[in-house]
Amino acid sequence: MEREIVRLDMNRDFEAFEELSVISFGEGTNSKRKMYEWLFDKNPYNKSGNMMYLLKEGGKVIGCDGLLPNELYVNGKTVLAAHSVKSMTHPDYKKQGIFRMMTQNSCERGKQDGVDVVIGLANDQSYPAYQKFGWPTLFEKEVYVKPILINNILKRRIKIGFLSSVGNSIYTAYMKNKLKVQMDKEISFEILNTVPKNIQKCWDTYKSKYNVLLVRDYKYLNYRYNERPDVKYITILAKIKNEIIGFAILHNSVANGSKMTSCVEFFTDPTNARYIKSLANVISKYCYDNGIEYVVVGTGLHGKFKNVLLSNGFMITRKPPKNNMMIANILSDKLTMNEINGHEKWHITQGDGETELDL
């Protein structure tokens, strides 16, 4: 039967696309149509339409691969990047070169639409294939976690609910008091349900202090966090005399029966340990105030983020994240591999890649 690669059409293809997603990633994968319409069709960085492509055999979808375009800031210039996402092959059609063919198709279509570099956070299944394709590995992503409430941790260890509750109460009272002493009196905070337009000035003020990161201007943050239809995010602004000196964006959820928050954005002056510490402290305070048991945050090695986090109660997760190998394929002459290669050059957050989108 004849095969063809087509651009994803929500009205025509969504049910088949959803079916392959569940087969490939399990029942827990995000299958909300409105989310995919927002993510693919309404992406403001699209040039000629969405960049998701399906391999069809008759009416059956047997493969998928695509790109999510966005802007990348690299040493003072802005280029068009795209995350590689939704790489899927139907299990009945494995070992037929479909993954390679669909990856090549995405890169060719991306180049036609002006994409300068394709990046991706590969998992243990896809990473060996990208290595065979010759895609360089830029770095291995780290994730940091901070326990806030330890009731569930103690329950697993002590096995006695009363004792674990007492232990949690003592620990929480001590840590909250310690945090109160550490809070910077000159920095105020505002907690919002949306990302405000004046956050643009914060990006403009500090972007030149970074080497490589996704552009976090209002255009991107508004699309990514205000317009997403299936998740509500919390924005925390850090201010000195009404001027925004940093921000964090949080996604509250439940994982393994515990209330947690993922810090999907964490942005301030990367050279200013005081600002970074203040943002980390207010995230912890937010967790205490809202009964959240732990917080996770990601960062690259650029600036002082990692050192400040590790000295303020955060620790590297015991297991690496599912999608942790940052890979890249340069498609134009607007940047070089040397400019983006290396963890020490990057600032990367939990909002980057497929994990936060539950893809």
Question: pLDDT tens, 230-286?
Answer: 999 999 999 999 999 999 999 999 988 889 999 999 999 999 999 999 999 999 999
DSSP 8: -
Average pLDDT over residues 69-87: 96
Q: For the chain, give the number of residues.
A: 359
Handedness of CA 79, 328, 25, 15 (dihedral sign): positive
CB atoms within 10 A of CB 289: 10
Where do the H-state alpha helices sit in the chain?
A: 10-25, 33-36, 98-112, 127-133, 151-158, 161-182, 199-206, 218-221, 273-289, 305-310, 337-340
pLDDT at 341 over 90: yes
Q: Rounded distance, CA 293 to CA 170, Å?
A: 15
Residue 155: predicted pLDDT = 45
Q: In the chain, pLDDT over 90 holds for what percent of residues?
A: 79
Higher per-residue pLDDT: 72 or 30: 72
Model pLDDT for residues 107-137, shown as the tens digit of each residue: 999 999 999 999 999 988 889 999 999 999 9
Model pLDDT for residues 168-207, shown as the tens digit of each residue: 565 666 566 677 777 788 999 999 999 999 999 999 999 9
CA distances from 13 to 57, 290, 357 (A): 13, 41, 20
- Locus of tokens 């980057």: 352
Q: Which domains does the chain show, CATH number per domain?
A: 3-139 (3.40.630.30), 143-319 (3.40.630.30)
Q: How far is CA 298 from the centre of its chain?
A: 8
Question: Any idea what the Cα angle at residue 307 is, between residues 215 and 149, rounded to 5°?
Answer: 95
